[in-house]
Every structure is written in C-alpha cells, then in structure tokens.
Chains A and B, each alone.
Chain A
Amino acid sequence: MDKSIEIRWHGRGGQGAKTAALLLADVAFNTGMYVQGFPEYGPERMGAPITAYNRIGDKPIRVHSNIYNPDYVVVVDETLLHSVDVTKGLSKDGAIVINTTQDKKEIIPLLKGYEGRVYTIDAHKVSMETLGKYFPNSPMLAAIVKVADIMDKDVFLSEMEASYKHKFAKKPEVIEGNMNALKMAFEEVK
C-alpha cells in the first residue's frame, strides 16, 4: 500500500464494529504501517447506531478528526441502510462492503445512487458455519482487508493468528473457528 486510506465503520452497539476497527489498526500496525483506530463516542447503548474509524498509511498521522470523505465504508448491520446515510462522502473511487443476506442487486437501490464499487458478504452465514455463534466482526475485518487491498492475504492470516493466540490465550479453542471465519470471508465477499 503506497497511500493513506480512510475507512468508516457503521454498526450497532454490541456488534463489535469498534473492536473490528481496533483489530484492523492492530494488524496494519504489525505489518509496519502507521495507524489510527477510534470510535465516535456518545452514550453507549446496545443496538444504537455507532461509527468507528481507521486511518492507515505509510506516514505518521496528524489529523484528529472524524472521517467525512472515506475511501471505504463497512456496514456491519444491514438494517442501518434504512436509517443511516452510509455512503455519505464516500469516494466513488473507493468501495462499500455490506454484511447482508440479500443479493447485491437488492442492496444497490438503497445506496442513494452511490457510483463506486459495492461488495456484499453474508457474515451471519460465515460466522454460524465457522464459530457457531454470530460475531460479524471477524468476517467483516477480512472482507475490508481484501476489498481495500490493505495487505497480502497470507500476511493478514498469519498476523491474525498471532493476534488471536495472544487475545485468546485463555480460550485457545476459539482460535481455529476465528481463523476459519477469516478464510471463508475472503472467499465469500463479492
């Protein structure tokens, strides 16, 4: 990657969008990049719309504001498409990645004429098949890494494995499921 990118995450409180943004910052940091990962704060309420952000690049990051013209947007919860203007300010040279069970052609009309690339992934299916529970953040993390071409797939997977081993040192049984979720998400995002 030879330029800075800005990513905006839309999710609902409790779904792990903030955690995903921090994980993305972690994995990009581990491959030598300059990173920023931060949530937009308000009262913390389960289920309420939340926004989180990433800046990633090869130079130190000085800006400390929210992101209004992102290169990429990740939508962790498709019900937000009806209530939040998720493509607001999104670069048409960039892309949006949406977690949905629906077909892409049913989603596009909800994107207010967005002209850039649109990707979808059924993170529910990925999560249930690999983890047996619904944790959309790992599949969405893999999806944005692939779509934004943030790093090589093998580098990403090996960094994530190291990070899961650290994070889940006391629950090693969940590492394999999470790794499978990442691998499957790489194939499923389209």
Chain B
Amino acid sequence: MSIRERMSGNEAVSYAIKQINPDVMAAFPITPSTEIPQMVSTFIANGEMDTEFIPVESEHSSMSAALGASAAGARALTATSSCGLAYMWEILYVAASDRLPIVLALVNRALTGPININCDHSDSMGARDSGWIQIYAENNQEAYDNFIQSFRIAEHPDVSLPFMACQDGFITSHAVENIELLETEVVKNFVGEYNPENYLLNSQMPMAVGPYANSPFYMETKYNQRMAMKNAKKVILDVAKEFEAISGRSYGFFEEYKTSDADVAIVIIGSAAGTSKEAVDKLRENGIKAGVLKIRVFRPFPGKEIAEALKNVKYAAILDRAESFSAYGGPLGSEIKSALYDAKSNCTAINYFYGIGGRDYTVEAAEGVFEELIDIMNGNKEIEQFKYIGLRQ
C-alpha cells in the first residue's frame, strides 16, 4: 500500500534516507540542501533511525568522511549543493576511482560568480566527468523514487560507482507537493543489506584503498571505471523494473512524452520538463505535433537510445541549464548532437540555454521554443544556435 502524503523535495529525500537507514552520513550545510542533513539529524536525535551522523567542517571533509566510511565497508552518503560540490571536487574523483558506492543527494544550485542561491545545473554538470552516476528528478516523487533506487545501482557488483541523485534547488527541494510514499518495510526489502566483497575492516582479507598508480596502472583503472559505467546502464534498467513492481511507477534512461509522432521536441532535464509537457498539450490542441524527451540518466549517457527516441523528430531543441563556456554549446546539447551525428540522424538539434541562476522557465517560454522550431521547419526562420531563453536585452 502506498502512502498518500505531501512534502517538499528535501523532505522526500530525507524520508527516503530515514527508510533506508544507511550506516553513515557526513554533511556540511549549504543552501538549498541544508534541510536534508537537518531533517536526518533530527530523525536520528528522535531515535527514528540509527545512522552515524558526522558533522564536519567543510564539504571537502564531508566527502572525505563518506569515502572513509564507504572504504571501511559502510553504506555512506552525504548531501550538498553548488559550491559545496565544487569544494568536494578532489574527493569526487577519488571516490569514483576507488569504486566506492557513496550516494550524494545533490540539490542543484548555480555556482558562485556572481553569488546566487537559485537553481541551475552548473554544479552537477561541472562534475559530469568525475566518474559518478548522475540521475535527475522532475519533482519530489522522482527525487524520492530515484533515491530509493540509488544504493541498489551504486552497490551492484557490476557497477560499484558513486551516485549523484539530483533535484532542482528550491523549485522542487522547497515546493510542497503531493507524493506517494512506500511503506518502510517495502523500501528496506527493496534496498537490502550492503555486503561489499572487499572492505578495509575485513581483517581476513587486507587491502589497500587509493594507492599510488603510475603509468603502468592508471590507464587500466580509468578503463575499468568506464566499463563499470557502461555496466550501469543495464543495472539502472533492471533496478527500475524491480522498482516498478513495488511502486507501479516506471523509469528508464528518459521519459518520452508524446515524442513518437512529434515533428518538434524539447529535450530537457529536471523540473522544467513538466512545464514543457504542459506546453506540448496546449500545442497539440492546435494540431502541432510537439513532444518532450526528459533526460533522467545523464551518466552513463544513453546516447544511442536518445538518438533512437528522436529518430522521427525533425527539429529538437536541446535545453541546457548550465553554461559550458565552450561558446559552442552546453553539456547536454553537445553530447546529444554527437549522439545524433553518430546515428546519422535526420533530426536537427538546436541548443538553447534556459533557467541559468534560477531565471524562471514558464509554459509560455516552452511554447515560444516550440513555435520557433515550427518556424524553422516551415522555412520561415534561420536556425540560431545557443540562444538564451528569457535573456534581458
């Protein structure tokens, strides 16, 4: 039986953590993720869970403490946002190469310069090459569901990689909405116990974690990380199938919303996907074949599958919520264009930027993008790459 509730995205993730009851959580507060360690430490203080909570003096330390705990054999996690993730940078790469299945509840926020506490994806997109699995949520429900699936994916012996469970700062983290929760026993059974094959506290099998690896070894380590990331694709889908059996909610690499017969589509990550779906329904009332491809899994990148999903789409707008300053596209735009090229796709991709630093993205903004795609399709407009949506000029 699912439990009808209403809560914010941060509450939903905290509740999932309580239900999973991991061994160790280390955290340092930063807006808008602060509520997660705050709520979890309250649950612990109230005796509702018995996770060992380590308050640390910085994010470099919270990731280091999670890494130490995970290496010792514990199920470990942390939470952060923005500059907190930036301050973890060094240890993100160590966690991935040490193959430690740490879970990080990331509440996406713009990186500083200028200071900004609102949502964009520059924090996690900056860490896209650090070797972490990245899964994004549209709303509080998906933040909860993704989190429950996170440890299963990260800890799978074929994967053994750290996992970033991302949701949009404030937009979902602080918005109270309806949600269907699972019973705690169901969650516990689904997630199961963590029994790593190798761990530091196993005196029967001593091991080294994070040793020096010079050129005869380093490249093989990276290759193994890549193979693990490749393996994660199957595991993500297998875990999603099992999750559907307990929840009735199905997940994949992405959600295809009315894309099968669409002439034009928006490809987007996170909370703005729902707003874009609303625009699709409005346009379809006027006979315009529009659709939305919502990317859930960004690492590993399901390039072939995305190209396949877009094969009948004539013009796709790829919307990035993070700059890359290559001056030749954002992270999502560049990778999808590369995937379409490899697939020899006839779909023309146009890369836009939106929502940077929390700039609001409305149904009307999404309609504007679709209308532009229609104009391009009908030959009434030239393609303009890398436009900023809603830029004040």
Contacts and interface: CB of A to CB of B under 8 A. Distances in A.
B6 A26 contact: yes
A66 B118 CA distance: 13
B311 to A, nearest CB: 26
Nearest to B178: A34
A105 B32 CA distance: 43
B164 interface: no
Most chain A CB inside 10 Å of its own CB: which residue of B177, B272, B274:
B177
A38 B117 contact: no
B169 to A, nearest CB: 9
B44 interface: no
B277 A39 contact: no
A87 to B, nearest CB: 19
Contacts, number: 60
Interface stretch (B94-102, B215-223, B359-367): B359-367
Contacts of A38: 170-171, 174-176
A25 B6 contact: yes
Interface in A30-87: 34-39, 41-43, 60-66, 68
Nearest to B118: A41
A41 B177 contact: no
Contacts of A22: 176
B82 interface: no
A80 to B, nearest CB: 21
B81 interface: no
A64 to B, nearest CB: 4
B278 A62 contact: yes
A29 interface: yes
B348 interface: no
B363 A64 contact: no
A171 B170 CA distance: 30
A148 to B, nearest CB: 18
B90 to A, nearest CB: 30
Given A34-B178, A38-B175, A66 B6 contact: no
Contact of B176 (A36, A66, A68): A36
A64 B274 contact: yes
Scoring A37, A39, A41 by chain B CB atoms within 10 A of each residue's CB, the highest score goes to: A41
A58 to B, nearest CB: 11
A168 B175 CA distance: 23
B41 interface: no
Interface string B249-280: 00000000000000000000001101101100
B6 A35 contact: yes
B174 A66 contact: no
Nearest to A43: B117
Nearest to A64: B271
A25 B139 CA distance: 16
Contact of B170 (A25, A35, A41, A60): A41
21 contacts: A22-B176, A25-B6, A26-B176, A29-B178, A34-B177, A34-B178, A39-B174, A41-B32, A41-B358, A43-B117, A60-B178, A63-B275, A63-B278, A64-B139, A64-B175, A64-B272, A65-B275, A65-B360, A65-B363, A66-B360, A66-B362
Interface of A: 22, 25-26, 29, 34-39, 41-43, 60-66, 68
Given A35-B177, A65-B360, 9 more contacts: A22-B176, A26-B6, A35-B6, A39-B174, A41-B32, A41-B358, A60-B178, A64-B172, A64-B271
Interface of B: 6, 32, 117-118, 139, 168, 170-172, 174-178, 271-272, 274-275, 277-278, 358, 360-363
